[in-house]
Structure 1
Amino acid sequence: MARAGINKALVQRARDALLARGLSPSIEAVRAELGHTGSKTTILRYLRELDVAEPHPPQVNLSEELQALLQSLAERLASEAQATVAVDRARLERQQAAYQQQRAVEGARFEQLQVAHTAEMEAHRQLRLREVQLTGQLQLAEGERRRLEEACRQQLQLLEERATTIHSLETKHQQARESLEHFRQQHQLQRQEELQRHDQQLSQLQTEVRGLREQLAVRQEELTQLYRDLERSTGAQGYQQQQLRQLERELNAAQQHLAAEKLLMNQAHQQAEIMASEITLLREKSRSYLLAHRHDQRLLRAQAQQLARLQGLVEPGSSDSPIP
């Protein structure tokens, strides 16, 4: 009687597992597969029932020529499989070498972009310093311009005051001349009697007129000197305005250069982002290559197993012989 738990289904399962592993389903092997349980007689009976229930191909004795043909076929399959594996391996090595070379080139380009970015940042910092310096110079020039405008305004005011003084002196001179003429007309009849006194008065008036003329000449000379000073001040102001315009042009040029540097910096950032996306794409390609390589390895293992099964078929006394 069979032990509890040992039946035909368990024996069949153990036998199929041994056949799947390429082992002969002998009594000892089946009993070991069942955990060393069950009677050998019961296991033998179940094995015979299973053997009778399954169809068997007619046994044919393979000749030496057929065995040689199968052997050559197996060797040919093995050589073709090895050649395919060698070609795939060479292709994968070339792809890996190309990927490594492309990665080195991309790394060099990335380093160049980093160096260019550092140089652009340094140039940008220098331009900012230059802009601060030009702004300070512009403020100083603006203060100097205001000071010169104030001095020019004061000079013009002084010139107007002196012109007013000269006009007043001329008016007084004209009034003196008119008074003299009026005096002459008033005292024409008394000229003879008062000629000496008149001559004295005339001499005195002429002295005053000379004094006035001398004062007028001095005022005119002062006015001429004032005009010269004003011309020098105007020339200095024009020179300061030229320097101010030059500083404004330099500031505009610096601002334009700064805008160009910012544009180059943005382009460098865009190129760095493109390089990062290309590196990500290369990583995805490398991952697909590794998956294809693993698939090729699985195919190679399947071909090797098929070759082993073919060799098992041609070996004499194989495990497919009927159980005694």
Structure 2
Amino acid sequence: MARAGLSRMDIKRARDALIAQGQHPSIDSVRIALGNTGSKTTIHRYLKELEDEEGTSLTRAGSLSDAIQDLVARLAAQLHDEADAAIAQQTVAALTQRQQAQAEVAKLTDDLAALRAQLSSADLDARRERAAHADTQAALQQRALDVERLTQQVRDLTGHLAEHDGFRRSLEEKLQHAHDALEHYRSASREQREQDARRHEQQVQQFQAELRQANQALIVRQNEITQLNRDNARLVAEVTAATKHSREQLARGEQLQTALNQALADHARAEAERDALNTTTSMQAVELAQAREARELLAADLTKRAAQFDAQQQLLTDYRMRLDLAAATR
């Protein structure tokens, strides 16, 4: 490749200097005299023009070796130019491939960073899912404890209700016995009075002497009746109190039944919530398995891309070694 500003006069001065020194002005010697600059084709063209103008040949006419040397020099110059062009083309291609390889390496690096970020996000999601699963299990265990506690309360309330029912039935039986005894006594007293009246009417004449005794017996009977009336009033009061207590027990039983119904409803709701929690837990377990599978797929893809990156790095290293070797050969 010609030096900037290289002219025919420069070639002539270099040639004349070589001739003055007793050296043969070949293309290579002229190029060396010019400081290893200038294209051999250009130097040969200028030397040829100088020879044509001066009518002399740069090589000796009778010397076949000089002609061969000139031909070899021109061929060497042409080969050198072609080699320079080929090396320049290969250098451009190598630079292009190197830039493409660097771009691909940068892309692979970005993909690797993105995959690492996705893997980190997947690990974080997996940890969150495990924490949520643990919270769900704890809530489920708490719900189970609440259900057990409510069930025990229902059993206790059922036992209390059974006890109150037994006490109420006992009071009703006692009240019925008291009514039966009172009616029996009233019937017996009425029959006895009727018998006494008939006997008194039939034997009024016969028992004039026993009137006082009969009156005393009547007084005793009246006292007994008074006492019985008092006992009856007391029994009525007891029955009233027992009835009131029974009503209170019934009201208490209704309250207990309401509480039992509420407990059963809470139990049913807790069962539904437990089923919902079980369903949610199952879904979360499936999602966790899917997240783990996705993480494994990402890890496999990351390994594959890392292998591709290593292969690209190896190819780039080999190509750099070939470029260095070509540069050293040049």
TM-score range, shorter-chain basis? 0.5 to 0.7
Matched residues in 1 for 2:193 and 2:77: separation?
A: 164
Greater C-alpha radius of gyration = 2
Q: Is the CA contact 2:105–2:312 (under 8 Å) kept in the aligned structure 1?
A: no
Match of 1:176 in 2: 192
In structure 1, the gaps of 5 or more residues are: 1-59, 316-324
The Cα offsets for residues 81-140 of structure 1, whole Å up to 9 and x where unpaired, read as 111111111110111111011112112111211221221222222223323322332332
Describe the superposition over 1:19-44 as per-residue Cα deviations: whole angstroms up to 9, x where unpaired: xxxxxxxxxxxxxxxxxxxxxxxxxx
Letter paired with 2:104: D
Residue deviations 1:250-299 (CA, integer Å, cap 9, x gap): 22222222222222221221111001110111122123323433443465
Q: Deviation per CA, 1:139-180, whole angstroms, max 9, x where unpaired?
A: 322322222222222212212211211111221233134335
1:162 aligned partner: 178
- Report the RMSD for the aligned CA atoms in angstroms: 3.4
Match of 1:93 among 109, 120, 126: 109
Q: Alignment identity in percent?
A: 16
| Matched residues, number | 254
Residue in 2 aligned with 1:112? 128
| Structure 2 Cα separation of the partners of residues 207 and 311 of structure 1 | 148
- Supply the distance in 1 between the matched residues of 2:87 and 2:325 (Cα, whole angstroms): 12
Mapped partners of 2:117, 2:285: distance in 1: 24
- Match for residue 40 of structure 1? none
- Which whole-Å CA distance do the structure 2 matches of 1:182 and 1:213 have between them? 24
Q: Which structure carries more relative contact order (alpha carbon 8 Å, separation 6+)?
A: 1
Distance 1:86 1:65 in 2: 31
Distance 1:154 1:176, change over 3 A: same
Does 1:200 find its partner at 2:215?
yes
Separation in 2 of the partners of 1:309 and 1:230? 114
Q: Quick one: distance in 2 between partners of 1:302 and 1:118?
A: 53
In structure 1, what is the equivalent of residue 274 of structure 2? 258
Q: Which residue of 2 aligns with 1:216?
A: 232
Q: Give runs of aligned pairs for residues 237-316 of structure 1, distance below 5 A.
A: 237-297=253-313, 299-300=315-316
CA change 1:175–1:221 in 2 (3 A) is: farther
Contact 1:152/1:233, CA 8 A, preserved across alignment = yes
**Which residue matches 2:10?**
none
Change in Cα spacing, 1:198 to 1:186, as seen in structure 2 (3 Å) is farther
